[in-house]
Each structure stands twice: as structure tokens, then as C-alpha cells.
Amino acid sequence: AQTVTQSQPEMSVQEAETVTLSCTYDTSESNYYLFWYKQPPSRQMILVIRQEAYKQQNATENRFSVNFQKAAKSFSLKISDSQLGDTAMYFCAFMKSQGAQKLVFGQGTRLTINP
Amino acid sequence: GAGVSQSPRYKVTKRGQDVALRCDPISGHVSLYWYRQALGQGPEFLTYFNYEAQQDKSGLPNDRFSAERPEGSISTLTIQRTEQRDSAMYRCASSLTISGNTIYFGEGSWLTVV
């Protein structure tokens, strides 16, 4: 079974700073997908970024980028030039590329951006 | 529709009552998923469908929980004889293709069992 671990329950940074959220996972699969989802106070669930395990290049979406280390089973999210609107719960998630299409989520990191 | 739509958004029910939660996926999306999220936790998989066929129901906690998607579009998650421990947010999600590697979530249905 796959597991996803987010070791930082809470983080807090000043606006405009860069922050990195950690995520590790455990799997015996060779092909899979990794995701970061954002859950703001409104409790929506918003896809931030997606990484395909067979791609060596790290995914980037504007101010959001990942550091994907397949051998270490690590998938961290970097938020550059953080904004007040980035305040949210962030969940890391794993999905196998074959078989049952279900996301396995970590416990989440509560990120607060301070003015 | 523009996004995944769920109803009701909020439901308070008495212990022992049955509850039905509805999900209307994004138009054209073939796969539909149900997740449950307790406060302070990440979502947990319940079940999913490709078209009208239920592919995996391994996450349903017990036989009080069931789901259907009879016409391959709208889905209903039913909880019979609700218990207080069923209180949570129930999230529906959909994806355009069966490979499902981009999944879009609805805003969820908050269920409180009193």
C-alpha cells in the first residue's frame, strides 16, 4: 500500500518570502503521479501542480514549483514570492498510473502567509 | 456544468436516519470519485466509477455506505442508519479520462450527524 507523509503540520512565513513544503511517499510502483492540492479557508480543493514520475524535469506553474527526487521518494513544493492568498492547507497526494485510480493524501501542512 | 457540483452543501441529520448526497460531475467527465475528509485530515478514498460501472469500492467503511451512478453522469452516495462517526465532509471529484491523472474536486457536502 502507498503512504504519503507530510512532516510539517504548520508553517508560517512573511509575504514575499519563499517557502518549501515537504512530502515523502512510499511505493513499490515505478510509474505514478504526484500532486499538490491547496485547500483555502473556503474548503475548496484546488489542484496546484502535478508531476509524472517518468518525467525527470520538475513541474512548474508560475510561482509554484516542485523538487521531485524519485530515488529518495521526495516531492517538495516551493512557493516563491508568497502572497496572502497562498494561506491554505496544502495536501500532497499520490496516484498509481495503472490500476485503481485513487488518490492517497498526506495529512496536510497548514501554511500561513503573514503581511 | 462548469465545475463539479454537490448537494446539499450542508446536511444535519439525526442518528439513524438515511442520507443521500448528490454529485454532478463536470460535463463529459467519464470518471467520478467519492472521498471523505474529516476535520484536520486529508481526504480518504471511498469509491469510484468509470461511466456507470463501479470500479473500486474498497474505501467504503461498511455496508451502510453505497454509491451509484446509473446513467454514467450524476452519482449518489447513500449512508443508511447514520452514526455520529459518519460526520465529515464528503467530496466528489471527476476526471475527463479513465486514466484520471487530473482530478477536479467539488466543494463538498458537510454532513453532521446529531
B5–A contact, CB cutoff 8 A: no
Q: Are B4 and B93 in contact (CB under 8 A)?
A: yes
Contacts of A27 (CB under 8 A, 6+ apart): A2, A73, A94, A96
Q: pLDDT (tens digit, 9 = 90+) per residue, B61-88?
A: 999 999 999 999 999 999 999 999 999 9
- Give the residues across from B7 on adjacent strands: B22
Q: Which residues of A57-92 are buried (b: 16+ CB within 10 A; e: fewer)?
A: eebeeeebbbebeeeebebbbebeebeeebbbbbbb
Q: What confidence category does residue A2 fall into, taking pLDDT thresholds of 50, 70 and 90? A: confident
State the pLDDT at residue B100: 64
For the residues B88-99, what does the mean pLDDT come to? 91
- At A60-84, the pLDDT tens digits run 999 999 999 999 999 999 999 999 9
Residue B31 to residue A52, Cβ atoms within 8 A:
no
Indicate the residue of B41, B58, B105 with minimum beta-carbon distance to A45: B105
d(CA A3, CA A29): 12
- Interchain CB distance below 8 Å, A108 and B91: no
Mean pLDDT score, B95-114: 88
The reply to whether residue B89 touches residue A103, judged by beta carbons under 8 angstroms, is no
So what's the pLDDT on residue A56? 84
Distance of alpha carbon B76 from alpha carbon B70, whole angstroms = 9
Using DSSP, state whether B41 is helix, strand or coil: coil
Which residues face B48 on adjacent strands?
B33, B56
Residue A36 near residue A90 (C-beta atoms within 8 A): yes
Separation between Cα atoms, residue B14 and residue B7, nearest integer Å: 18
Q: How confident is the model at residue B97 (pLDDT cuts 50, 70, 90)?
A: confident
Q: Is 70 exceeded by the pLDDT of residue B1? A: no
Please report the pLDDT score of residue B55 as a whole number. 92
pLDDT at residue B108 in the model: 95
* pLDDT (0 to 100) of residue A27: 93
A70/B99: higher pLDDT: A70
Given a contact cutoff of 8 angstroms between Cβ atoms, the answer to whether B4 and B24 are in contact is yes
